[in-house]
Each structure stands twice: as structure tokens, then as C-alpha cells.
Structure 1
Amino acid sequence: MGFSNLIYLWTAILPLIVLIYYFFRKKYKDQPVSSTIFWDEVMQETKASPYLKHLQRNALLYLQLLALLLFVLALMNPFIKQTELAGEQSIWIVDTSATMLLEDGGLTTFERHKEEMNTLVNELSGKPVTIITTGEEPKVIVRQETEPSVIHKAINNLEVTYEKEQLTKAIDMAQAFIGDTSTSMYLFTDSVERGELPIESENIKWIVHGASKDLKNVAITRFAATTTEDNVLALVQLKNETDEEQVTELNLMDETGNVLISEQVTLKGKEELTKTFDTLPLVSALTVNIEVDDHYKEDNTMLTLLGSGMSQIVIDQQMHQLVQKGFQALNKDVKIAPSDQLEAMKDVIIVTNQAELLGKTDTPIVLIGRNDEVAEEINSLVDVSDDALFAFSSLEDVYVHSIYPAFDQFETIATIGEKPFIQRSARGDIVILADIQSTDWPLHPSFPLFLWGLQNELVGGTENLGTFSPNESRSVPLATGEWSIYSGEDEYVSSIESGSEFRAPVKPGLYSIRSNEEEKQFIVQLSPEERTVQEGTSFELGVIQNSGEEEETKQSFIQWLLIPILFILVIEWEVQRRRGFAN
């Protein structure tokens, strides 16, 4: 604490003047007289409280001294010193991913971070602040804002979007606001490694606010199901992220919420367990839920949609025998057809290498290799994305000798040496840019699992839109007209026009999209990264250089002195009025 106007210290003489005045004022001597001698008994109660009587006699003195002392302090402008790193601005990166809903002590990490941000607003000292939220498309909420009320409102309006955090994209956006300006970068997240933060510049200091430590979590990491002739086969993968044994109750439910299977599962510390259920009744959707005492509830539920299982798979007779045998092992209803008959087929899944069929038919296509291009040699291993197609099939050990050129407009979901290997078209066709015989893929257990996932996705795609990540944008095959999205509770969410880009809702769950004549279901599912939690981390990194000195701010609290001064003056006036102004 200090004073910025010590020149007004001379005003401390004012309380002394008042005190001296009271010492030399005219005093009276108590003299008992006959007319008041019988009042002694009445005054016994007052004499029994001499301190109260003293206070009553000298109330004005004490009030005047207190008011003058506070007035002297106010003139000297007292302040509290706050030491901060030198910086001309602050940039706050706010993680809005699902893992921010980790709950501890009745508050989620996101709610606690919002409280911390509101506190920081009061310590900005007029410096501009920029707030950026994470996601596939980072957003600037406020830019170079100095008005506290505007910043508080922006903070209070922040919400979790359940998207994958994509922290690198938010940091890249923040770099555009820095330039040569010294900046304090605040990162509000659950956990981040120090190596993920760029510290090349001497004008940046990172202040990371993480989640609480010692949080426990048990998650459903994988869930898939497929329809056979008479029943449904489902696979559930659970993971215990704690060091202690955890007991959970696993429930499988149909689309109406009826419990099909309820089973108690015990997981050892750090154990990952896969369970298979092969006697489930035929249903259109399945939900798996675990009941467990942990700090993260969002990964305790997972959904999947099932097709009718009746779509026939037609394989081009020119395809390699390994492809034919692979699909026949999974589905008895597989047909081998000549290449020239494929284009005319309807309501089937076509497996071929004829690239010209893409876009010529409404039938889903699995393109393995290309007949219109020449493959180029590449000696590398496969790197897959977090796409749901690879939920149970890891391709990292697959060797590929040569690949074909990629399609420019298709989404790449697996690469080899940074070149596309597996792609998906806008309408859901799957393209494998290599001949099966040029890989050792059929020798790996991932091959039949991949074909199983491929069949499950394409069969389901003929009846529903499939699975989306929260807030994901994707082109989907919809008929002409207006479509409306409804939640599983039949609440209206939004509307889109056919041909426009489809954007999935933010909150995970089962949804339906409807037009006047048609209805399709789809699922919004957390990404695999949002189904696991890490230990919370909070730290500071980097130093802002400013002639080797730290910047000190002075927080004045003169306003807190003016209010009691005014209050004391009102009390003093009331005391004087009761005694009579003439006295």
C-alpha cells in the first residue's frame, strides 16, 4: 500500500486542531443541589456504564476526528500496488470443447474459468483484451476491447460447443493480433503440454489456467453395431483412466429407451476392456450408457444407428479375389457382376475400380483402385484420422507399395507420406487409392474389421445421414426442398435448404431431419479426443521484456473512503441535532 499525494500530509494538523479545541473548551463542574439530590437513584444505571456515558459525552469529538482522519487519507489518494508483467494487451484463448465440462466441487472447469476471467477484467487497468474461442473454426468474441461491461457480457455469454479443441488453430489466429506488441496470452483449457505453446517471441508470456487435478474418469471409447439375419451384434469398448478399480453398470437400450441388457462391469486400474453382445433384438438405434461415479459425464453415453442389413453388396468381377472373399466372409448376400452391368443396378452397394461410376448412379460406391490413372510408387506406412470408419481398425502397420492420384473435391481420411490414401465423397462414397494386391493389408486383422465398418456405414447411409461431430459442416444427399432438424425429444433445432451446407447441432445426441415427405435420422457424437481426460495443468511460460523491469499498477481505493466519510457526517449532524445546535 502507498500514497500518491503525500503533499497533502500537512492536512493531518486538522484533527489536532479539533483535539486541542476540546482540551481548551469551557468545562463545567458538577454541583449537587437540593432540587436534584433525589435524582441520584435515577442516575444509578448510567453510573453503572461509565464507558457508555463517556462515549455519549464525547461522541461529537470521536466522530469529527474519525471523519477528518478519513478525509486526510482520501486527500493523499491511497492505493494498493499490483505487480504485472509488462504488456500492452491481453489475449484470452478459451477452450470450449466437451472436456471443459469436467465437474469438481459443484462447478465445471468451464464455469470456474468464466469466474476467473470476470475477476481478471477488474485487473486490466485499461489494457485492451481480445477473446478467442477454440474449435474447427476459431471465433473472435471481442477484439481489442477496453470497456469492462462489454467484456463481462461476452464472458457470461460463452458456452461449451462440444467440438474438438483444435488449439493450434486458435493460437495461429491469436498470432495475427500480436505483431510487435508485448502481450499476455491467457489460455483457459483443461490440460496442455508446454511444448504445444510457441515461445519464440520475447514479447509473449503464457498464463495457462487448467482443470483441477486428481480427477477420475471412466469412458466409453468405442461403440459399434451391425445387423445380421436374426439379431444385432454390438461391440462396446470401456476405458478406466484411474489407477483404482472401478465398478460400473453398463446398460444397452433401444431407440425408445427400453433396457435390453444391464450388466455390472468391473474395470481394473488403467484397464481397457471390449465387450461383445451378439443376441440383441433387431432395432433401428442402440444407446449404451454406463453409471459410474466419476467427474466427467459426457463420455458415459454413446449411440449408433443400424441399417436394415438387407442391402446387397455387388462386387465387380474384375476386383481381386481378396476383396471378394473379404466381403463374403462378412455377408452371405454378396453378388459378383460384370463391369458393364454395374451402372444399371439400384439399391445395392457397388465395389469396383471404375472411377467413372462415381456420380453416375445413386448407389453407394466403394472404389478400390482406379482404372483411369496410373499408380505411382510410394514406400510408407498409413496414417489415419479420427474418422469413425477406423473405430475398430488400426491401419498404422499397413504397408502400401503404390497409390493412385487423389480426387480433388473429396475429403481425405487416411494418408500415406502426406498423400491421400482413403477418401470420402460428399455423398458418402469411399475411395481407396490403391489396389489391394499392392498392399499387405489383407494380412492384418484390421482388414476384415475395416470392411465390416465400411459395410455398416454404407448400409446405414441408405436410411440415415450417419454420424457427425458437434457443429460439423458437411455436404449431405438430401432431396430438393426445405428440411428441419429435430432433437430426440422432438424439439425444433434449425432448418436448411437442400444443396446448402449441412451443419450438425452442437450438443451430442440422436436427431432427425424431416421434409414434407421424408425423414432421416443422424447422430451427433463426441470425437475420440473428447472421450478421454488428462491431468489438469496450470503454469506460466515466457517473460515479456521491458528494459528488464516489471510493470507496477496502482489500484486506488479512494472511493471506499468517501462513502464512510459521508456516512459519519450524517451521524454527526444527527448527534448535534439531538443535543441542540445552541449547545
Structure 2
Amino acid sequence: MGILVPAFFGLSLFIGGLIVFYMFRKQYSEQVISSNLLWEQVMNEWQATKWWKKLQRQLLLLLQILILLLMMLALTRPFFHKEGIDGEHVILLLDTSASMATVIDEEGTTRFEQAKTEMRALLDKRSDEQAVSIIAVGAVPSLVLNREQNERAIMDAVGDISLTYEHSEFQRALSLAKALSQQQSSGIYVFSDRMTEEELAEIDIDGAFHANNIEAAEDDNVSVMTFGVNTSGDQGAAIVTLKNESSAQQEVTLQLLADGDRVHTQAVSLEAKEEAYINVEDLPAAVYYTARLAEKDSYPLDNAAYAFSSSTTKPVLYLIGEVNPFLHKVFIHLGHDVIQAEKLSDINEFAADSIIVITTGGDEQADQVLAAGRPFLLLASGEEEAYPLEASLETKNTDELFAYTDVAEIYISQGRGQPFEKAGLADAVMKSGDVPLVQKGLADGQSFVQLLFDLQDSDWPLHASFPIFIYNTLDYLQGEAAHLGYFTPKEQRALQLDTAGEYSVVDETGMVIDTFDGDSELFQAPEKPGLYYLADSDDQRKYFAVTLDDREKQTVAEATFSMYGNEAAPTTNVVRSEWWLWLLFAAFVILIVEWEVYRRGIRT
């Protein structure tokens, strides 16, 4: 404890002055009276009075002295020291990924809720001079507060952050935190379950860095890793992958549902860390299927997975012009009917369920493709201008075109051509640095996929992932009548809908959670994983599933750690906490009491 301005103790002279004032208050003169019998009675009563009753004669003086004393002490600004937090600028990073929904105790507290509690406890240690910035870490980091010092605003901001259920990209968030920490000494605090020292390798942190990874109390998570259904006619077959993340044997009950009705139940025993594959035959035909675990564990988000029935008819493929022979063989192997033609004008009428595969041409050809009114796969021509590729290949996370494919080992020597100019909406789903190599989107209401490289310039056709990519591409171009496929949390995508107008977004329980205008270009999926459907005014439904990123299907927390950049490990930071406001408040309360005493006439 200490005093900031001890000079104000000199105001104690006013207390002495008050006492002197009372000493010179009005005096009574001596008078000769005929009898003192009455005065003796008064003196006897005074001597018999309790001591606290006698004190009332000087109560006003004591209260006024106390008021002056408290005000003097407040002016001296007394303080005490308490444990503080590092940095003039405190930067907090809160993980909003799906794994933070893991339950950590019997009361149902999640890692996310515990992280908020620990953030508030940390903020209670800050001094009034320390500014606070808060970053919500999701797929894209969000700066919630920037150098805020108002305590209420800071606490309200912490309470307003919610889970995004995305996979958190900490590299982007740490880069943002480093940029914020440049102007003054800063302390960075991360509240997560996956932060590792390796993620700091590319980020040069000069000041204090603390990663608080919140562990779960129970190690009992079993997850549905993958779920797929192959339908043929009026029957289907499923394969489910279960993984036991715990360090002990687990007994679980697997349930399969077809259009919401349970059609299969199976008990499964999993050894510690075991991954098991379960095959189920003779499933009834349905629009959507659900694989779920009947038991509740600490992480319910990965206890269910969804699959949709595949189309029973394969579209006719119209191959226009020269098409790579490897690609042609893949089409045949996938069981499609293939019709070849030199020019689009050679086709009198396109089949109702068909896809055009064509090499890039001029504007006239583009107009003809759009006029055909069919989805199309646009291939790069070997005659187009080539440009080198210097960066490694990257695909958009969880995009449906690259499901079950790995492009890390394929080679593309150069890119060719330009993105389709007449596309109303396009998204580059594979790039080399900033150079797009595969894009998909809509053009005049029709789906399209464009390859911006010549297959002759790549070894991709020799890899097992190539026919899978072509299968996914044709499935995307064909579309589905009853379902919209899979989305990541809050993913935006253009939809092919049969009718315009307003649609209701309905969750698995039948609750309407949002609305969507069918005339809009982009649909944004809900943030929480689960099964949903779009319903029009006639209650025609199109189902879709919001799925977890595969990296969010594990709940093992990393170890908590601290680093101090280029500095030596500092001593414990101590902050000063002043309490003069409490003294002023006490003086004000006593002033009210003093006035009431005066009003009641308890005075000398």
C-alpha cells in the first residue's frame, strides 16, 4: 500500500481548526438562583446516562471530523499493488472454432464459455492506463475492439463474441495481432485449445505471448469421421468411419436414419485411439441419410454426419471440338453417354439432362454456349497464351470439387487462357499464388466449371485424384433436384433453384431460423453444423448439410505455454489500484448522516 500525494496530509490543519471552533462556541454566564434542587436532579440523571448517550452531545463534531478526515485521505490518493498483466497494450485472441464447443465439466460449461470467464478474470487485473484490443479468431479474423480503455465497453465486447464453428486460421490472426502491437509494448493472450509454438514460427513476437489452451475434464470423444451412401434403384449401401479419440475403450451405438426414420442400429466397440469402418447394406431409398451416435459425449458436434442420395441418371456429355483423350476415357469409365461434334451448331437439340464439354473459343462461341442453356465444362486451348506458375497449388478448403482429392503432388507447368468473361458469378477454387487455375460459378443461370490450364501441361490425369475430380465436377454441373449438397459454416454460394421468390431456412427440428430471397445471387449457410432445408411457399424442400471442417473433428487440447520473444522472461507485472473513490463515497454517506443528526436537533 502507498500514498501518491502525501502533501495533502497538510490539510489536517482544517481538522484542528474545527476543534478550535468548537472550543470557542457560545459560553454561559454565572447566575445566582434561589434553589439548585432541580439542577441536582438534572446532574444525577446525566451521571446515570450511558456513555454513548453522553457521546451524542459531541456527535456533530465527531461526524464533521470524520468527513474532513476521509476527504483529506481521498486527496492523498492511497493505493495498493496487485498482480497485473503484461504490456501497455493488451491484445486478446479468442478462438471461435467448433472444437471450442467441447464440454469440460459436469455443469455443461464449454471451452468457449470457460475462455470468456478467464478473459474477464484477466481483464480485472489490468490498470486503467492499459488499452485493450480483442480479435475473434475464425476463418477470417475479426477485430472486435481496438485500443479500448472503457471497462464496460471491453466487458460487453467479450460477452458479444459467439462461436463461428469454422476452423480458426491463427496465422492471419497472429499477423493482425503483430501489426497492432507495433506502436507500443504489448502483451498477447490467446484463449484456444489448439495453439502451438509451431504456429508462431513465422510470426516474430517481440513482447510477451501467452497461449491458454483449455482442456476437457473427460477424454471420451468418439466422432463420426466420414459417412457416404451409394444408391442404386430403390436401395442403398453406406460406409461409416468412427474414431475413438479417448485413451480408453468405448462402447457406442451407431444409428442410421433415412429421411429421418431409423433404419439401422448397431453396437460398436472401439479400442483406444481406434478407427473403425462399418458397412451397412440394404438401406431404403431416401433423399437424405443420417449417421449418428446415440450416446452423448463431451463434443456432440461430431456425433452426426449426413449424406444425400446420388442421382439415378447420368447426364449425356456433348464433347465439342478436340478433347483430351485422358478426359474422354474418364467420361467413358464413369458410365456417361458421350456425343462428339466439331461445332456447337452441329447439335440440333440437346438432351434434357446433359452437359457441354467444350474448348475455349471466341465471344461468338461463348454466346452459343450460353444460348444452349446447359451447364458446361470449359477447357483451356493449347493455342492460348501460356503464363508460368511459380507458387504451389492451393485449393479452397472443403470445396465440393476437391472432395476426397489431394492436389499436393500434382504438377502443372503453366496456365493458359483467361477467366470466362461472361460469367455472372465465379469463384476460383484452385490457384497457384494469385493465378486462378480452376474456377466455377454461374453464367446466365447455368453452372459452369473452367480449367485455366491445358491437361497436356500437367501430370494430373496420371493421378488417382483426377477421375474423382471429374466425377465431382460433373456432379456439381448436373445439380440435384432434392438437395443442395454440403456447406461449411457461413459459406456463401450461388444456388440453382427451380423457382424465384422467398424461401425459409429450416433446421432439423422444424424451426425457421432465417429467410432467403431466391432472386439473390448468393446464399449464406447457417453457422452451426447440422441438417437444414430450404422451403418455398408450397413447402417444396431442398435439403443441405452444414458440415464440420475435418480439422475440427478432434478435441485433444494442446499444452498451455508462454513465450517472450527477444526479451528475457520478465518478472511478475504489478499494477497500482487506487481506492480514493471509495473514500469520497464514504464521506458523502457520513455527510448525509451528519445532516440528519443536525436536523433532529442532536447538537450542543
**What TM-score results when the alignment is normalised by the length of structure 2?**
0.73
Distance in 2 of aligned mates of 1:305 and 1:459 = 15
Q: 2:352 aligns with which of 347, 362, 369?
A: 347
Distance in 2 of aligned mates of 1:527 and 1:394 = 16
**Within-5 A mapping of 1:110-189:** 110-122=112-124, 123-189=126-192
Does residue 476 in structure 1 map to residue 495 in structure 2? yes
Contact 1:351 1:368 in 2 (8 A): no
Report the alpha carbon displacement of residue 285 of structure 1 after superposing the two structures with TM: 1.0
**Residue number in structure 2 paired with 1:520:** 542
Q: 2:246 aligns with which of 233, 237, 242?
A: 242
The 3-state SS of whatever aligns with 1:227 is: strand
Please identify, of 280-289 and 433-442, the stretch whose mean Cα deviation from structure 2 is larger: 433-442
Distance in 2 of aligned mates of 1:149 and 1:382 = 46
AA of the residue aligned to 1:200: D
AA of the residue aligned to 1:336: V
**Residue number in structure 2 paired with 1:46:** none
Distance in 1 of aligned mates of 2:233 and 2:214 = 48
The 3-state SS of whatever aligns with 1:465 is: strand
Q: 2:519 aligns with which of 498, 508, 526?
A: 498
Please identify, of 90-99 and 555-564, the stretch whose mean Cα deviation from structure 2 is larger: 555-564
Q: 1:510 aligns with which of 512, 515, 531?
A: 531
Q: Deviations over 1:370-421 (max 9, x none)?
A: 4663778989996655324444344444x44656526536534445798655
**Residue number in structure 2 paired with 1:43:** none
Distance in 1 of aligned mates of 2:5 and 2:433 = 68
Distance in 2 of aligned mates of 1:385 and 1:161 = 18
Distance in 1 of aligned mates of 2:348 and 2:486 = 28
AA of the residue aligned to 2:531: L
Please identify, of 372-381 and 154-163, the stretch whose mean Cα deviation from structure 2 is larger: 372-381
**Residue number in structure 1 paired with 2:404:** 392
Q: Deviations over 1:452-500 (max 9, x none)?
A: 5445544444554322211112333357844334113141403336243
Q: 1:309 aligns with which of 305, 309, 312?
A: 312
In structure 2, the CA distance between the partners of 1:379 and 1:270, relative to structure 1 (3 Å rule), is farther
Distance in 2 of aligned mates of 1:544 and 1:567 = 52
**Residue number in structure 2 paired with 1:540:** 562
AA of the residue aligned to 1:476: L
Please identify, of 364-373 and 495-504, the stretch whose mean Cα deviation from structure 2 is larger: 364-373
In structure 2, the CA distance between the partners of 1:319 and 1:352, relative to structure 1 (3 Å rule), is same
Distance in 2 of aligned mates of 1:348 and 1:124 = 68
The 3-state SS of whatever aligns with 1:154 is: helix
**Residue number in structure 2 paired with 1:487:** 506
Distance in 2 of aligned mates of 1:472 and 1:57 = 80
Distance in 1 of aligned mates of 2:268 and 2:236 = 21
AA of the residue aligned to 2:176: M
The 3-state SS of whatever aligns with 2:114 is: helix
Contact 1:484 1:496 in 2 (8 A): yes
Q: 1:285 aligns with which of 283, 288, 296?
A: 288
The 3-state SS of whatever aligns with 1:91 is: strand
RMSD of equivalent CA atoms: 4.7
Q: Deviations over 1:243-301 (max 9, x none)?
A: 3322222111122x211211122222222333333421111111111234532111111
Does residue 435 in structure 1 map to residue 455 in structure 2? yes
**Residue number in structure 1 paired with 2:41:** none
Q: Deviations over 1:296-332 (max 9, x none)?
A: 111111223334422434263865665455455554x
Distance in 1 of aligned mates of 2:192 and 2:493 = 27
Distance in 1 of aligned mates of 2:12 and 2:518 = 77
The 3-state SS of whatever aligns with 1:500 is: coil
Contact 1:232 1:281 in 2 (8 A): yes
Contact 1:240 1:272 in 2 (8 A): yes
Does residue 258 in structure 1 map to residue 261 in structure 2? yes
The 3-state SS of whatever aligns with 1:287 is: strand
The 3-state SS of whatever aligns with 2:285 is: coil
In structure 2, the CA distance between the partners of 1:469 and 1:229, relative to structure 1 (3 Å rule), is same
Contact 1:199 1:542 in 2 (8 A): no
**Residue number in structure 1 paired with 2:39:** none
Contact 1:98 1:530 in 2 (8 A): yes
In structure 2, the CA distance between the partners of 1:335 and 1:374, relative to structure 1 (3 Å rule), is farther
Does residue 196 in structure 1 map to residue 199 in structure 2? yes
The 3-state SS of whatever aligns with 1:107 is: coil
**Within-5 A mapping of 1:358-373:** 359-367=370-378, 370=381, 373=384
**What TM-score results when the alignment is normalised by the length of structure 1?**
0.75
AA of the residue aligned to 2:551: E
The 3-state SS of whatever aligns with 1:269 is: coil
Contact 1:314 1:335 in 2 (8 A): yes
AA of the residue aligned to 1:373: E
Q: 2:338 aligns with which of 336, 345, 348?
A: 336
Please identify, of 135-144 and 159-168, the stretch whose mean Cα deviation from structure 2 is larger: 135-144
* Identity rate, percent: 24
Aligned residues: 540
The 3-state SS of whatever aligns with 2:337 is: strand
Distance in 2 of aligned mates of 1:434 and 1:299 = 40
Contact 2:355 2:478 in 1 (8 A): no
Does residue 109 in structure 1 map to residue 128 in structure 2? no
Report the alpha carbon displacement of residue 555 of structure 1 after superposing the two structures with TM: 0.9
Contact 2:375 2:448 in 1 (8 A): yes
Distance in 2 of aligned mates of 1:485 and 1:10 = 74
Distance in 2 of aligned mates of 1:571 and 1:472 = 64
AA of the residue aligned to 2:170: L
- Structure 1: runs of 5+ lacking an equivalent: 19-52
Distance in 1 of aligned mates of 2:203 and 2:413 = 40
**Residue number in structure 2 paired with 1:33:** none
Contact 2:240 2:279 in 1 (8 A): yes
Distance in 2 of aligned mates of 1:294 and 1:74 = 55
Distance in 2 of aligned mates of 1:479 and 1:430 = 20
The 3-state SS of whatever aligns with 1:498 is: coil
Q: Deviations over 1:412-447 (max 9, x none)?
A: 444579865544334653445453896364563x45
**Residue number in structure 1 paired with 2:227:** 223
Report the alpha carbon displacement of residue 153 of structure 1 after superposing the two structures with TM: 1.7
- Structure 2: runs of 5+ lacking an equivalent: 20-49, 421-425
In structure 2, the CA distance between the partners of 1:146 and 1:380, relative to structure 1 (3 Å rule), is closer
